[in-house]
């Protein structure tokens, strides 16, 4: 297998594409929360639910089809953290969550990510 084929397999497998799709949904999610009304709140919740579902599906699919990649191991948790922290920051902006809650959760996420990188 050539280097180009290995790179394509690493990038363009279904689990990684689902993760990239989840990352692409984050700006849509933020837009819907930024312009809050009843319809946009429902759509934002729907987008978040789709992200949660694809997170589970891409992990399951990667393990079942033996498509676990280094890129996927990096991108999947990153996508999870970005969407959760984005939602929390927008909830602070909307006055629904106190700032200290977001700071505690963000600090915990960074701490756990740092510990996981230790040998």
| Cβ-contact 51, 83 below 8 angstroms | yes
Indicate the helix (H) or strand (E) that contains 83: helix 70-93
State pLDDT tens for residues 76-109. 988 999 999 999 999 899 898 999 999 999 999 8
CA 30 to CA 36: how far, in whole Å? Answer: 10
Global pTM?
0.83
Convert the pLDDT of each residue in 48-79 to its tens digit.
Answer: 999 999 999 999 999 999 888 888 888 898 89
Q: Which residues constitute the domain of residue 104?
A: 3-117
The CATH number covering residue 64 comes to 1.20.120.1760
In the chain, how many domains are there?
1
pLDDT confidence band for 12 (50 / 70 / 90):
confident
Q: How far apart are CA 32 and CA 95, in angstroms?
A: 16
């Amino acid at each position: 297998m050539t280097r180009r084929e290995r790179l394509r397999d690493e990038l363009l497998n279904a689990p990684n594409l689902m993760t990239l799709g989840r990352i692409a949904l984050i700006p849509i999610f933020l837009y819907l929360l930024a312009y809050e009304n009843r319809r946009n709140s429902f759509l934002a919740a729907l987008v978040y639910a789709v992200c949660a579902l694809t997170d589970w599906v891409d992990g399951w699919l990667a393990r079942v089809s033996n498509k676990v990649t280094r890129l996927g191991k990096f991108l999947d948790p990153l996508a999870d953290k970005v969407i959760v922290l984005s939602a929390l920051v927008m909830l602070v902006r909307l006055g629904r969550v106190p700032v200290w809650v977001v700071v505690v959760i963000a600090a915990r996420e960074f701490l756990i990510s740092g510990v996981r990188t230790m040998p």
